[in-house]
Structures are given as C-alpha cells and as structure tokens.
Structure 1
Amino acid sequence: MQPEPVLDLAHLGHLEMLTPKPDASLRFFVDVMGMAESGREGDSVYLRGWDDYEHHTLKLTAAKKPGMGHMAFRTRSPQALERRVAALKGSGHDIGWTDGDLGHGPAFRCRDPDGHVIELYYETEWYAAPPELKPALKNQAQRFPARGINVRRLDHLNCLASDVRANRIFFEDYLGCRLTEQIVMSDGSEAGMWMTVTNKSYDFAYTRDHTGAKGRFHHLTYAVDSREDVLRAADIFLEAGVPIEAGPHKHAVQQTFFLYVYEPGGNRVEVCNAGARLILAPDWKTIVWTEDERKKGQAWGMKTAESFHTYGTPPVDEME
C-alpha cells in the first residue's frame, strides 16, 4: 500500500521580498499593482491583494541586494504544524522557532537543500477592512480598489535551484507537497518542478539555476480575474514605465497566461489570470515534459526571452 499522504500544509501564505530601492518598490506595488499597505515594522512594509484573507501576502524589506528573504506556508491546524516541526527537527534542514511576525503567530523556520528559507505557521490575523474599504458583499476581503492593475491574490512563486531533484524530494518528504508537472532533460536530470499543497495545479515552482548558484529567486506572482486583465496590465505597465520582460502569452507548462516585469528593486514579478487549473484527482499522474518538447517554446510557439532563463536575484556577481 502507498503511504498515507501528508496534508499538513494549507497554502502559500506570504513571501518576503528584499529590495535595495524600498521607496520605489513600495510605489510599484501600491500604485501600479494596486496592492494595499497593511502595516509597517522596522525596515519592512506589509502588503496584500484586495481579496487576500490574511493580514499580508507580501513583506517588502529594505536590503542591500534584491531577492527573497523567506517564503511562508500556513498549516491546516496547530497539530499539523507540530507534526511538520517534529519531522524537520534534527533533519539538518531545521533552523528553529521564531516568535512570529507582524500579522501571524509563532513560526518554525527551515531551509531547503538549496538554502531558501521556509517558514511554517498557523496562528494568523485575518484582514478586517476599515469602513472605507468594507465591501458590499461580505464574502470578499475588501472593496475592489480600482487602482492600477488591481491584483486580487497571491498565486505562486518560483525559486531557482542548483539541484531541482534534491529540492523536490525535500518538499515531498518533509512538507507533503505534490508534484504535478516537471521537466526532465535528455540526460535524466530534473530541470523544473511544479508542486502544490492545495487543489490548484501549483503553488510554487523551482527551476534549474543555469549558473549553478544556490538559493536565488526567480519571481513572485499575483493573480487577476481574467486574461483581459492581464492584457490591460501590460498597458498599465507600459504607461508607468515598468520594464516588460515577457508576455502576455501562455505557458505550455501549467498553461498559465503570463506577463513578466521587473519591479524597481530588480526582482521579477508576474501577473497571471486567476483561472488556475485544478487538480482534483487524489492520484494525479505527474506530467513530464522532455527537453525536446520544451525547446519548442511556449504554448503558442513563442520563444521565451533569454533573460527569463538567465536572470535571477540576487545577481550572481552580487552574492557573497
């Protein structure tokens, strides 16, 4: 019999993004992306999309170099958090407990094989809209902002890794994540993985770092309601002078309708449509893409910009 699956993680909760240009990055996320500020503490500003239910989904922190500070997953229960902590303790991946952050309670930190920092927590502050942002319909978090792109919610993130296979095994064995799609090269090595803890087709992805460096960041993604909203986002970025790297277009892997840009601090940000594919099968069979298939480009034949495969944060020449 197959071992009982681990279903202790509820969803991707938030990401900490590091930026050497905090003021400009903040203006980008508030004025262009249409996000709302939900708090400040130290060198960090906390932000959320208009229908994110938690206090924040993005922690924007001033730093010397761009990149990711940490990613965080909310567990399904206090007991689920305890089980994941017990599995991680003594594994060599564990860092230890923190008292928590603005908007959530105690969190347990660990590192994947590549060195990315991961935070697990359960206690969280649900966002309560002030009177001026209170929605007419009580089943959404706040009133539609009608500002900039109006991103709705955090969708996923993508990290770069020196060893995709080692990271896949870590997320499967210690955190119970399911592999839905992957890229396997002709030599048998794994070049990309898309994993989920929900019924979305993926909550995060890792792709091979062409430099061989460890612990770098590729992009963070927020969702809008439709493909038309992604097309409108391209016009809004154009008007705001935001550099567009790739898209709008459709990925072959996962079929995401995408648009990639660079925020002022140097990090890559994606806007995608919220109509994510759903994985309802409990025995989903992983979709495997070959090296030859990926050389064909994206879903409609467009070749991805070269920078998409080579650029990550922090830039290699800026890493310690």
Structure 2
Amino acid sequence: MAVITSVPGISITVHVNGEVAQEYPPLDPTDECTPSPPPHICYIESKSNQSFLVRLTLSPERTTSETNAILFTVFIDGMFAGGQIVYRRSTRQLGSPMIVDIKDQIIQSDVAGHCIRRSFSFSPVSLVEETTQAMVERDSRRAKSLGCIVVNLATCKPGATRVMQPLVPWRNSDFVLAEKAMKGKELSHGTSYTQEILAPTPSCAAAHDITPLGKYIFRYRSRAALQRELIIPQTPPPPDESFITSELGSMSDEHVRYLAKEFLRIKREREVKQETPALSFKRTIDLTDDDVVEMNGRHSFKALKREGDNDVIELSD
C-alpha cells in the first residue's frame, strides 16, 4: 500500500488479477529524480496477460468537499489512462472509507453517445538484435516510460459538469524493442488494452485551482527481471539438486541410461535381500561325545548339537 506521509488519509494500490500487488522498495531511491515533495517509488511483479487496476482509498478522516476535492489521474507507460475528481457527495459516506478504481481507458467509438471502455493488461516485451539506428533511437524513447504506472494526486475545485470527450483510440503496441535501446534496463512487460466494451459516454467536470499533493510510481517487472535488478533475492535450487543437475548435464545420453540401469539393479538386489531373512543359530560345544576335536591340547568339543529348537552347550571334564 503506497502512502505518502505528507498526504494523510489517502492510499494508492495496484491490484493484479483481483489481488493487491506486493510492493518492493528500490535499491537506492536517491537514484531517482527527487522533486519536491519526493514521490513514493516501488516495484511490483507483473505476469503476462494478467489484468490490473489502480485503486485510491480515502479514509473516513480525510475531509473532502465540492470546493476541496482530490484530482486522481493515472498514466501508464507515459500515456494518459484515466482520471477522476474524488469527494464525498453525501454525509452517509463520512463513516466509511471511499474507494475509487481506475480500471479501464475510455476511447471514442463509432456509435453516437457511446464510448469504448478497454481494460489494462500486462503484455510481454521481446527484444531483437539486428535493428536500424532509427529504431534504436525510437525504442530508447519508449523505454524511458515503459513498464511504469504513475499516479498523480492534487487538490482541485470541480467545474461545471459536461459530457466527456473520449480519447482518440490508438493501436496496441507489439512491444518488440531493439536490445541496444534497453541500455541495461530490465523491461519485461508493457501495458496493452483488452476486453473492449461499448458503453454510454459518461459525464465529467473540469478541474480548477489545481495544487499538487503527491506522486506514486509503480515499476512493474516479471519476477525474473526483479531478481536480475536485485529488487528481490534469487531463489537458488537446493545444493544437492544443483550438483546433480550439473553432473547430469555434462553426461552423454548413453552414460545416463547406464546409471539408470545400475540404480534399478542395486535397488532390486536390496529388495531381494529384504525378502529373504538370514538364518541364525548358535553353535553347541560338547566335550563328552565320541566325535571330538582336540582344542588347545587340553579340551575337546563337538559342534552343533540341537535339542528341540534350542542350541545347547554341554561341558564336562
């Protein structure tokens, strides 16, 4: 949950597939530009084809009105995605949090009085090596804002209500970028627009007397990209598994098959031994019967005399 101490009573969250995205702090926030007041910067994990939305939560303690409203705007990959003017319109809303979602972009349609609402979705980025200089320069500009959700908050005074003028539509990007344009950046996803729905064009109001409150920056990356940027720790395999994987990788297929056969043979031998218990018995020493063997020149013994199920030792002078 993104919170700026200088903006009390307001939190911003990104929800991916209906769940609040976990936020990870940057390695060194001082590397970012630091306007006044400084923005809240964090990283979140993105997965291909997952939908997401941006949510503003207004606490009951945060006072708003028609003359002191909150301007809530969202930019994704450097492009305007949506915005709302937020304030409590009745006293019934005073005792509970107020939630406002920006989950789709409103664009023009060919149907009078209607617009198209299209939702946000993560799309994978692919890199190409052989490119022209013009493509490298173009993709370098795109890479500066790609993989980034920026939320701006401000106080404002709403103007008169009117019918919204939807955005001019543009085609989704294929996110094929020149590898040279990345310059070390770990970009894994961009945002595409999906699930287009025809809907009545909503009304809106102009914002006046705008005073900035704060900025929230969410950089979205795949889990692997977050690990490469050292935002989250690596998850190495267990030592034994790592060793075995390395050893098997260096062996020929014939050697691997041989080891598998040996493993099965040894396993079978152990199973057979467990199925056949060893016989055990005690030896009997008898110094009185005829069949004797001299021992140490003074005593003699006869081995293995059994009585019933027991081995017996008989001694005499």
User: TM over 0.5: same fold?
Assistant: no
TM-score (norm 1): 0.22
* Larger Rg belongs to: 2
Normalising by structure 2, report the TM-score: 0.22
